C-alpha cells in the first residue's frame, strides 16, 4: 500500500483545481449571453461577470465588477 505525502497531495489538489478552472472558463466562453454573480444589495453589485456581457450590455466585464463600477441596477434595457 502506498502512502501519499502531503506535498504530493497538495500537487494533485492544485492540478485538479486548475483543471476545474479551465473547464469553467471553457464553459463560460462558449455560453451565449451573460453569466454573473452579484451581491443582494440595492445596486446588485457584481462580483463576477462573464465576457458575454459586452455584447449584451455594451460594457466590458471589468467595468461592471465591484463597488464604484457601473451597477446592474443602473443599466437601462431597451426592448428590441
pLDDT tens, the chain, 80 aa long: 556 788 887 888 999 999 999 998 888 888 888 889 999 998 889 999 998 888 888 889 899 998 888 888 888 776 65
> What residue segments make up the domains of the chain, in order of their start?
1-30, 32-80
The span from the CA of 54 to the CA of 63, in Å, is 10
Q: What is the pLDDT of residue 78?
A: 66
The span from the CA of 51 to the CA of 32, in Å, is 10
CB within 8 Å of 52: residues ≥ 6 apart: 28, 31, 32, 33, 34, 35
Q: What is the pLDDT of residue 51?
A: 86
What is the grid cell recorded at 7?
506535498
Q: What is the pLDDT of residue 23?
A: 92
Selection from 38, 39, 41, 65 nearest residue 51 by Cα: 65
Task: Provide the β-strand partners of residue 49.
Answer: 36
* pTM of the full structure: 0.63
Amino acid at each position: 500500500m502506498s502512502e501519499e505525502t502531503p506535498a504530493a497531495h497538495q500537487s494533485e489538489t492544485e492540478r485538479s483545481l486548475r483543471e476545474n478552472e479551465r473547464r469553467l472558463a471553457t464553459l463560460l466562453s462558449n455560453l451565449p449571453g451573460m453569466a454573473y454573480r452579484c451581491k443582494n444589495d440595492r445596486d446588485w453589485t457584481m462580483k463576477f461577470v462573464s465576457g458575454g456581457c459586452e455584447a449584451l450590455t455594451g460594457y466590458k466585464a471589468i467595468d461592471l465588477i465591484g463597488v464604484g463600477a457601473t451597477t446592474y441596477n443602473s443599466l437601462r434595457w431597451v426592448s428590441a
